[in-house]
Structures are given as structure tokens and as C-alpha cells.
Amino acid sequence: MTHDEYVDYIRTRFSDLFDPTNTEDSWQYLITIGPGWWALLTDFCEQLEGVLKHHDEVGRWYIRQVKEKMGELRIYTRPAPFERPDVDGFMEWIDDIDPPEPSPAAEMIGIVKQQVIGRAAHTCEQCGDPGEMRVLGGWYWTCCDRHFQEWQGRKASQ
């Protein structure tokens, strides 16, 4: 499965979890993690869907971005825009306040998010094998021994 195919799968299978006003451009950058973490994200989406159904909040929370940062999995979820009409101007500013307001659903979202982030910290982002955070020349990556060796090889030949 290519990255585009995976994104299409998530977008179709979990359409309730994403803002329907997302543009094709925003979808280009919405999910940028490596294939080794795709299964973790799929799990997260299933759990998030369950939490939202349980709290009757389907359509009130959206996944805004899924990316790797400093070697860690980052998942940003936001209340749907109609809940916070001023949110667009503050997207950057509130990046790390997540979720912004306490509620039973927000609390559960935070818990399932931390669980999946914890699993990602021990999962190679490239292949999904057991791995850990590595640092090379100031860059961070969570990967297995094999992909760490490949990475070192690529760095050495640059």
C-alpha cells in the first residue's frame, strides 16, 4: 500500500473523524507518518470513533494532523470548528494545548492518544518492528536496528 492509498483508506473508513471542509491541499499534509506507524493510527481512529460514539460526540471532534516530530508520533485533535468559531486564527498558537477544554470525551481522547503515542515510541516508523528513539547528527527517528543501520549508511554517504 502506498502512502496515498493509506490516506485514502483512513479518509474513507473514518470520514466522521475529519473535517468535511478539509481541502485536497490540506489532505496532502494531514497524515505524514511512515508506514510502520500506520497500524497504530488505524487503531487510534477505531478507538476515537468508539469514544465519540459512547459520548454521543461524533462530528464534534476532528483529527487535524498526524505527524512525526522529534522522533515522536504527534496526533492533533480539535473540537469541530462550529464549537470554536475563532479557532482558525489560533491554530498555531494552541498547537500544544491539546485538548483545550476538559470534558469526559476530551479526557478519554487524551488517554487513548497517550497509549498509541507510547506504543509508537517502541515501534519502527519505517517497518513496524520493535524499535526505539535514535539520534543521528541532530535528527531524531524511532526505528529498529536494521533501519538505524540503513540510516547511518545513508548519512555516511552524504
Q: Which of 68, 63, 21 is nearest to 46 (CA)?
A: 63
Q: How far is the CB of 145 from Zn ion (least distance, A)?
A: 8
Among 94, 112, 127, 136, binds Zn ion (CB under 5 A): 127
Among 108, 109, 116, 144, binds Zn ion (CB under 5 A): 144
Q: Which of 150, 147, 135, 120 is nearest to 38 (CA)?
A: 120
Asked if residue 158 lies in contact with residue 141, where contact means CB atoms within 8 angstroms, the answer is: no
Using rule CB under 5 A, residue 116 touches Zn ion: no
Q: Which residues contact 117 (CB under 8 A, 6 or more apart)?
A: 72, 73, 74, 75
Using rule CB under 5 A, residue 124 touches Zn ion: yes
Q: How far is the CB of 44 from Zn ion (least distance, A)?
A: 20
Query: Grid coordinates representing 35?
Result: 508506514
Tell me which residues in 33-52 interact with Zn ion (CB under 5 A): none
Q: How far is the CB of 148 from Zn ion (least distance, A)?
A: 8
Among 33, 126, 134, 141, binds Zn ion (CB under 5 A): 126
Q: How far apart are CA 19 and CA 59, in angstroms?
A: 8
Q: Cβ–Cβ contacts within 10 Å for residue 27, how many?
A: 14
Using rule CB under 5 A, residue 17 touches Zn ion: no
Binding site for Zn ion (CB under 5 A): 124, 126-127, 129, 144, 147
